[in-house]
A and B are shown apart, each in its own frame.
Chain A
């Protein structure tokens, strides 16, 4: 690989984990997450000329990666719309169960799977990745108010589904 390639790897490496989380939030709990990530990174590599260096690299990269992941999901129909199990919709089973991190992770992914894609992406970018509403709006190509609304609804739904209260 030439110097450009190594420079690109250095550029994207800090964003890899976040990009993968975003893809997983977008297309669901699937083995194709890593394929989608690679496809997105290659799309960014090929389209690097379109990146405006006066703006932050992270949002641009995530936008490209997200679009590539969506395309892949459409093509391969990897997105699964799983029904939320009755056990998940029920109130919290107790602190001992919540202490089980593996179970909590599974519950979280199941809960995420019940949300619309844009809400999953918005809440992941806002709460897990720390992007602002304005940056998320640019990544998703929607108004900032829509992002605020998506984050609000996603949080409320996650709270309900994870059994931490019912304010719906």
Chain B
């Protein structure tokens, strides 16, 4: 066995460990058991809830983007149909003539 602080794997200790830990290992039996288990074990991707969970985040993001786009489109299209008119223009008063506005507003009701 090499020095315990060696930076490289110790071939002697490695072989000893493999030999000691391998005892009783039946590779073929392990593979056969694995194949039998896999035949009945679903993967996460086959699980309906897992599929929904994976789709949830991107789905929500797409829905939010669509809502935002439609909202902006509606706002723009509604605003374009009615040109903006200044309050002063609508009332027919000169800019800065606030007294007239105060008088004129009740009369327009």
> What interface size band does chain B fall in?
20 to 34
> In the complex, what residue of chain B is closest to A16 when comparing beta carbons?
B30
Contact A1 B45 (CB under 8 A): no
Complex interface bits, A153-164 against B, C-beta within 8 A gives 1, otherwise 0: 101101100101
The answer on a CB contact under 8 Å between B35 and A127 is no
Among A4, A108, A130, A152, max chain B CB count under 10 A is at: A108
Asked whether, in the complex, the Cβ of A16 is within 8 Å of the Cβ of B31, the reply is yes
Which of B11-19, B55-63, B66-74 lies at the binding interface?
Answer: B11-19
Number of A interface residues, CB 8 Å?
48
Given A17-B25, A101-B19, A105-B20, check contact A127 B30 (CB 8 Å). no
Is B16 a contact partner of A167 (Cβ separation < 8 A)? no
Q: Mark each residue of chain A from 1 to 39: 1 if its CB lies under 8 Å from any CB of chain B, else 0.
A: 100110011001100110011001100000001100110
Give the residues in chain B near A105, CB-CB below 8 Å. Answer: 16, 19-20, 23
